[in-house]
Structure 1
Amino acid sequence: MIARLGSATVLGAGTMGAQIACLLAGVGTRVTLLDLDPPTAAQGLERALRLRPSPVYRASDASAIRTGGFEGLVAAVTDADWIVEAIVEQLEPKRELHARVDAALAGRAADAWPIVSTNTSGIRIASIAAGRSAPFQRAFLGTHFFNPPRYGHLLELIPTADTDPQVVGRLEDLASRLLGKGTVRAKDTPAFIANRLGVYGLQRAIELALELGLGPDEVDELTGPLIGRPKSATFRTLDLVGLDVAVAVAEHCYADLPEDPEREAFRVAPVLGALLEKGALGEKAGAGFFRREGKEILALDLVSGEYRPRRRVASPTVDLARGEPDLGRRLGLLIAGRDAAATYLRRLFDASLGYAATVGPDIAAGVADVDAAMRWGFGWQLGPFQTWDVLGLAPVAGRLAAVPPLVERVLAGPGGFYRDGSALSFPEAELRPIPARPGSLDLGVLRLASASAGLASNTSASLVELGGGILGLELHGKLNILGPEAVDSVRRACDLASRAYDGLVIGTRAADFSAGANLALMLLAAEEGEWDELEREVRRFQGASQAIRHAAVPVVAAPRGLTLGGGAEFCLAAARRQPLAETYIGLVEVGVGLIPAGGGSTGMARWAAEQVPDGSHADHFAFFQQALELIASARVATSAEEARAWGLLRPIDLVTADPDRQWADAAATARHLAEIGYRPLTAAPILVEGRRGIAAAEALTYNELLARRLSEHDRTVVLELARVMSGGDVAEGTPVAEEYLLGLEREALLRLLGLAKTRERIRHTLKTGKPLRN
């Protein structure tokens, strides 16, 4: 039977506990959040709900959380499926609270116990469980949510020697399927996997920066996307985490790892201590390694302690490597250089890779778990053992003062940490098949097989057979910008699926589904007066949307991350959507002085009309106004559930939490629709507001203009949108054809592109990534 999570009790309403409660409530779990007393618990929840980004998927999630004091612990834990303790990071208070949980559940049969976990970033789990009853110890394990719990993908699970393996398996399933987490089993050692290696790397980065005379700004330029790491890189990451938090983790590692051969690396650097003494704790204090002064961000001089203007790295090696798109080859170029930047990176990689190989067998069951923890926890594209393989074991080992025994065994044996779908396991140093994650599809393998079978692929998209008669179209261009190649791929995929398959899924493995249409091409064509070409391109885009909507088989869109403009329009056209919970979708064209003209304005007009049942005489003006204001505001939903409330997703659309399951879930949805007798959508007439809608928009925008909440150009754009969604100069309640509204979309878009202020907006957005209000 599929494991369910009907209720949960969270003990501790601090920063982590309250946010964990919000996450659990967001997936439909009834949550009890307890702290020392009811006011403390209520205040903790209130603080969490004020955080940005929000810890909840939708504001109503908070209503599923009941707060109270620890005096209600017995009743709260009795009905819970999962008890999560998240109080202060101190051993004795945790032990005392779990003794109360143990007593409250005493007498239960072993198979009737809930899952019990302690959320900690490094306290030994066995020490918390010591002295508890046998049933408690079988149900108990450690969990390490990364902050913030809603957005941090990694969840480390730390069983003890007494934890029932079925308990671990059940929590793995719940965490991935319901919470969307990437779960990794860590051994019960200080700081577990990700923090042990991550903090070591951060400490070494500071040490090497001081030794080689590099500043925080220069180090961050070297240790961010250039080497496959997040933009926050090193020093910015420390500022975001909080220097006090980073120091506390490092101090714990230093104290708790007396036998670690690299223990001294965890000793807090004097520059960190000096910042703490001054209260410069990072982002939350307004200053750390970086400080904002007006519009300028200054960097700390690590020697003088003064702030200075930021500077770029001067490095021929870096300049050469930037032009290499392949990460593995780029790392090779960087490591091979001989200037200061290359020396810094070479020594940083050597130290970090050597440390991972030294302690890896102590902290995890194999290299795949270590690499997953660093990818999911710290946002690395390649984990340390993947990096070993990319750079070559022999060259890296040859630079190390002491080669880790694990590396010596691999050099003498398999020669690498990964091979043909297998990864090295500890401690025997043997290659074992990497188990597939339940409910997932390996798009990489399927794509290779599909290419061998002759299915088309280009730089923007690839056709992939997903199995069960379902075709996939994987978008994989830069930000999945929808230029002519991608748009044509969508249309051809719909045609092929309609002829030879039972359904189609359109999705991506990238973080973002699509940033929308190619604005640069549109701007260039408008500035060169290529109006006929522009109209053809708009028709091409609309044709792809219509192909999705009217395909002979069900088309399921699988949005994730940013799903903007044209990407959102393709999703609106689909028979179903299978979004990730973390989908940020919006029709944002008004922000660049345009309107949705790939079928999006028509689609939202259709949505407004559909909110009134057939045969009803109810007024649908309120729904028209809601849709108009949504597009006019260029709002982007902060979750799939918020998008559903806005009408950008439908009540029947299913949401996937785990990114690794999304393709499989979307394919299953397409398969289900095909099996129940999917009928293609017909181009039914759409009831529009006509002149009434236009007049209402004119009055509304005039008042907004007087209140200085709109500019004249804002008003021009919104009125063009209103004319399209209202159906133009027709009477209220007139049924109009889809093609008629699509024609109005094209006309409005071309008129707006002809305006200098719209082109100014597009140029500004392409240059800065931000909207211009002119």
Structure 2
Amino acid sequence: MGAGIAAHLANVGLRVLLMDMVPKALTDEEQAQGLTFEDRAVRNRLAEAGKARLLQESPSPLYTPQALDLIETGNFEDDLHRLSEVDWIIEAIVEDLGAKRALLERVEPYWREGTVVSTNTSGISIARMVEGRSPAFRRHFLGTHFFNPPRYLPLLELIPHPETDPKIVEDMRRFAEVKLGKGVVVAKDTPNFIANRIGTYGLLVTYRTMEAMGLSVEAVDAITGEAMGRPKSATFRTLDVVGLDTFLHVANNVVANVSDPDEKAAFRAPDVFRTMVERGLVGQKRGAGFYKQVRENGEKKILALDLKTLEYRPRQAFSAPSLVAGQGKDLKTRLERLLFADDVAGRFAWEVTKKTLLYAAAKVGEIADSPADIDRAMKLGFGWSLGPFELWDLLGVRRVAERMKKEGETLPDWVEALLREPEPAFYRQEGTEVVVFGRGGYAPIVLPPEALSLKRLKAAGRTIGGNRSASLVDLGDGVLALEFHSKGNALGTDIVAVANEAFRLLDDHFDGLVVGNEGKNFSAGANLMLMLMEAEDENWDEIDRLVREFQAFTLRIKYARRPVVAAPFGMTLGGGYEVAAAADRIVAAAETYMGLVETAVGLIPAGGGTKEFLLRMVERVPEGVKLDLQPLVNHAFETIAMAKVSTSGEDARRLGYLRPTDAVVPNREHLLAEAKRAVLELVRTGYTPPAPRKIPVVGEPGYATMRLGIYQLQNRRAITDHDAVIADKLAFVLAGGRVPKGTLVDEQYLLDLEREAFLSLIGMPKTQARMAHMLKTGKPLRN
């Protein structure tokens, strides 16, 4: 965990000193090298091993491998004096109060006033940890609970104790949100804080309900995943990732530190969990938990654990009418069809949900000041689509409360007070502000200045146009937003129509445009299903029209009279990247997975993506410098042909998808506001649209070079014959066709080449087979 935190700090450009214990014994390898305990290589071995593992882990904890250069290693015996050099000390050792207190005692002599000290604990008392330390040290001490893995889970719980300086809490909140990209929640110094307290309770309720109803591990995971607005890993697959031993430690921490006997009983783990830990069945890190992967006849198979016999068996499919009824529906419909259904899945899901909602309501004021903090913690830390109180609102506060009472449940007094409102809801929109009901009535949820919410603006009536696939939203200060909200944010004619309206508004009413949204991903590209259907019907003129229309769309973005800034995040693939690439600036989230992936379905980028990536390569040559373009074009060819996707925003810069002038923002919640600021900065500095330019191409000689590479790969059987056909079409476009080397061509010429190659490929049966396979399985076909 310490190495993971160090990696994320390095990701955002911070220099880190990573320290660990001095090993107690030499390894055989160290002895063979003649090393002793006096050698730094031995003394820093544990920290070095933690650093080295960062390059091996998947998914990578690093934005780029180069971030590793910012991490220096040391050890607790030789390097504690260096703590006087740093601004923030993070303790992340074993979850043991005595060990943590002993280490902090060793830290204090080297600590200088003004340096923040924090502990990465999942639930140990912050106040007890600094007993015996000086008043100044205690004022600078708090909990910083990173969720694992630190790069990918955005939640950071800040836990002050009674003596923590409030200014330090606020400074750390701002620093963590802006610099580290974290979603920060301030928690009370109570056992397991917020997310682990609610999450652990909910999981134990899930197990007890499962046991009472006689359900299997697979059945519970089928119900408690996406059907309930939770991650695909659901309950037991999540436990396998976390580690059952870790989970028991967290649960036992509550048992040991709460006084209510009913709550102690609720957190007491079942005997079968303890038995599993004793047998080493703790999850993925030991190769077996609630599930186990085996090989049978050369094929991978997943077995499930029978909790009655503790024997593994083939997984058993589970379904129920309520689950089937919700498939493919929006979240509200899915939840209503499941939670109010009178079948086994519905009864199970309702019981788990009811108990979790009631427990969360009972803990408001004890573990967090506001229901909003609990909701935020569960979404950011556990990946829930909705927090407990947002879910309650979605289902109807009065409807749920009346059912609970009918079943003999008692609601907290503050929830009863809410029910006396004419239209009870935990959240309410008041203008552009959202208020939340808690123990003191309604209070505003204040967004930080770096955040901008389309949802809030739309609820306040700032939508000025749109259709079922896209909306136009007034962001204020003369900036318009084009928001995608089609299924999967797939790009189609509906979005192009709204975009054309945006361009008309830009001419007369707005100073600039932000292209962004608040979906799961920016956009995974064009509507592949539509294209395949047209191809199967041999509607070549219609496909030609659609491609021309999309090319015109990206050109309008590029040459709009007002500045356009794209704000991509998550999957930004194919047409999604083509839209972003056409903008004057890209302000990308740190977690942006960007790429031109059309070759995976037998096509090439034809909405301007091939042309724009080539332009980015050409721009790397300083004006007036004579430099061979071929290596840069080869990079473009390799990147697009291999459908390379960036592993982060910074990796997108390395691959060439981003220009040096583009920005990467650590916190996705700040993305739209940063994009709006970029628009206003372009306006302030006197924006003029770019002038069309001629593009030098490598021509026939460059095409021949790329064809030679294709032939060699094909000859080694590294690619299929159809891969070679696709690659040849791509090489032809990137080379600029059959023209002399150094020929200057215009953008429309390259767009025509893109379109012709696309139309040629989509008519091929092997390409259509690739498209169909991707739509059916989500995986590429190598035919």
Shorter-chain TM-score range: over 0.9
Q: 1:82 aligns with which of 69, 73, 88?
A: 88
Q: For residue 666 of structure 1, give the secondary structure of its aligned residue in structure 2.
A: helix
Alpha carbons of structure 1 residues 403 and 276: separation in structure 2 relative to 1, 3 Å: same
Counterpart CA distance in 2 for 1:302 and 1:80 is 50
Q: For residue 49 of structure 1, give the secondary structure of its aligned residue in structure 2.
A: coil
* Counterpart residue type for residue 404 of structure 1: P
* Counterpart residue type for residue 394 of structure 1: E
- 2:82–2:110 CA contact under 8 A, matched in 1: no
Q: Does the alignment pair 1:394 with 2:402? A: yes
Q: Does the alignment pair 1:31 with 2:16? A: yes
- Give CA deviations for 1:237-295 in whole Å, capped at 9, x if unaligned: 11111222112212222222242533212222233233323322222333221223434
- 1:410–1:429 CA contact under 8 A, matched in 2: no
Q: Does the alignment pair 1:302 with 2:299? A: no
Q: What RMSD over aligned residues (CA atoms) do the two structures have, in Å?
A: 1.7
1:25-64 to 2 correspondences below 5 Å: 25-37=10-22, 38-64=44-70
**Aligned twin of 2:646:** 637
**Aligned twin of 1:214:** 215
- 1:394–1:411 CA contact under 8 A, matched in 2: no
- Tell me by how many angstroms 1:41 deviates: 1.2
Q: Does the alignment pair 1:682 with 2:683? A: no
**Aligned twin of 2:625:** 616
Q: Does the alignment pair 1:365 with 2:365? A: no
**Aligned twin of 1:173:** 174
**Aligned twin of 1:422:** 435
Alpha carbons of structure 1 residues 382 and 708: separation in structure 2 relative to 1, 3 Å: same
Q: 1:493 aligns with which of 490, 502, 505?
A: 502
- 2:240–2:284 CA contact under 8 A, matched in 1: yes
Moved more, 207-216 or 578-587: 207-216
**Aligned twin of 1:474:** 483
- 1:313–1:341 CA contact under 8 A, matched in 2: no
Counterpart CA distance in 2 for 1:329 and 1:618 is 59
1:547-586 to 2 correspondences below 5 Å: 547-586=556-595
- Tell me by how many angstroms 1:482 deviates: 0.7
- Tell me by how many angstroms 1:298 deviates: 2.8
Alpha carbons of structure 1 residues 73 and 128: separation in structure 2 relative to 1, 3 Å: farther
Q: 2:324 aligns with which of 319, 323, 331?
A: 319
Moved more, 526-535 or 411-420: 411-420
* Counterpart residue type for residue 550 of structure 1: Y
Q: For residue 462 of structure 1, give the secondary structure of its aligned residue in structure 2.
A: strand
1:36-185 to 2 correspondences below 5 Å: 36-37=21-22, 38-105=44-111, 108=113, 113-185=114-186
- Tell me by how many angstroms 1:412 deviates: 4.7
Q: Which stretches of structure 1, 4 residues or longer, exceed 6 Å deviation after superposition? A: none
**Aligned twin of 2:474:** 465
Counterpart CA distance in 1 for 2:125 and 2:66 is 36
1:191-206 to 2 correspondences below 5 Å: 191-206=192-207
* TM-score normalized with structure 1 length: 0.94
Alpha carbons of structure 1 residues 314 and 50: separation in structure 2 relative to 1, 3 Å: closer
**Aligned twin of 1:656:** 665
Moved more, 75-84 or 636-645: 75-84
- Tell me by how many angstroms 1:33 deviates: 1.0
Counterpart CA distance in 2 for 1:234 and 1:675 is 51
Counterpart CA distance in 1 for 2:513 and 2:455 is 18
- Tell me by how many angstroms 1:413 deviates: 6.2
* Counterpart residue type for residue 688 of structure 1: V
- Give CA deviations for 1:596-645 in whole Å, capped at 9, x if unaligned: 10001111121222211222211121111111110011011000001001
**Aligned twin of 2:456:** 445
Q: Does the alignment pair 1:719 with 2:728? A: yes
- 1:688–1:735 CA contact under 8 A, matched in 2: yes
- Tell me by how many angstroms 1:329 deviates: 4.6
- 2:554–2:608 CA contact under 8 A, matched in 1: yes
* Counterpart residue type for residue 411 of structure 2: V
Counterpart CA distance in 1 for 2:670 and 2:110 is 37
* Counterpart residue type for residue 472 of structure 2: L
Counterpart CA distance in 2 for 1:618 and 1:331 is 60
Counterpart CA distance in 2 for 1:645 and 1:516 is 22
**Aligned twin of 2:379:** 375
- 1:73–1:101 CA contact under 8 A, matched in 2: no
- Tell me by how many angstroms 1:318 deviates: 2.9
* Counterpart residue type for residue 380 of structure 2: W
Counterpart CA distance in 2 for 1:693 and 1:498 is 41
Q: Does the alignment pair 1:188 with 2:189? A: yes
- Give CA deviations for 1:182-237 in whole Å, capped at 9, x if unaligned: 10011001110100110111111111111111112111121111121111111111
* Counterpart residue type for residue 111 of structure 2: L
* Counterpart residue type for residue 320 of structure 1: A
- Tell me by how many angstroms 1:315 deviates: 2.4
**Aligned twin of 2:38:** none
Moved more, 697-706 or 719-728: 697-706
Counterpart CA distance in 1 for 2:293 and 2:333 is 36
Q: 2:677 aligns with which of 668, 673, 681?
A: 668
Moved more, 380-389 or 533-542: 380-389
- Tell me by how many angstroms 1:579 deviates: 0.3
* Counterpart residue type for residue 638 of structure 2: E
Counterpart CA distance in 2 for 1:668 and 1:387 is 33
- Tell me by how many angstroms 1:733 deviates: 0.6
- 2:291–2:302 CA contact under 8 A, matched in 1: yes
* Counterpart residue type for residue 685 of structure 2: I
- Give CA deviations for 1:56-78 in whole Å, capped at 9, x if unaligned: 11111111111111234444221
Counterpart CA distance in 2 for 1:20 and 1:750 is 48
**Aligned twin of 2:264:** 263
Alpha carbons of structure 1 residues 193 and 449: separation in structure 2 relative to 1, 3 Å: closer
Aligned residues: 749
- 1:542–1:598 CA contact under 8 A, matched in 2: yes
- 2:427–2:437 CA contact under 8 A, matched in 1: yes
Counterpart CA distance in 1 for 2:323 and 2:257 is 38
Structure 2's unaligned 5+ residue stretches are: 23-43
**Aligned twin of 1:13:** none
| Percentage of identical aligned residues | 46
Alpha carbons of structure 1 residues 709 and 83: separation in structure 2 relative to 1, 3 Å: same
* Counterpart residue type for residue 410 of structure 1: L
Q: For residue 465 of structure 2, give the secondary structure of its aligned residue in structure 1.
A: coil
- 2:454–2:517 CA contact under 8 A, matched in 1: no
Counterpart CA distance in 2 for 1:251 and 1:86 is 20
Structure 1's unaligned 5+ residue stretches are: 1-15
Counterpart CA distance in 2 for 1:740 and 1:424 is 59
**Aligned twin of 1:628:** 637
- 1:495–1:547 CA contact under 8 A, matched in 2: no
Counterpart CA distance in 2 for 1:274 and 1:61 is 41
- 2:614–2:633 CA contact under 8 A, matched in 1: yes
Q: For residue 471 of structure 2, give the secondary structure of its aligned residue in structure 1.
A: strand
Counterpart CA distance in 2 for 1:66 and 1:319 is 53
* Counterpart residue type for residue 206 of structure 2: A
- 2:511–2:562 CA contact under 8 A, matched in 1: yes
- Give CA deviations for 1:629-679 in whole Å, capped at 9, x if unaligned: 100110110000010011101111111111211111000001101110111
Counterpart CA distance in 2 for 1:165 and 1:341 is 46
- 2:515–2:564 CA contact under 8 A, matched in 1: yes
Counterpart CA distance in 2 for 1:680 and 1:450 is 31
Moved more, 720-729 or 457-466: 457-466
**Aligned twin of 2:293:** 292
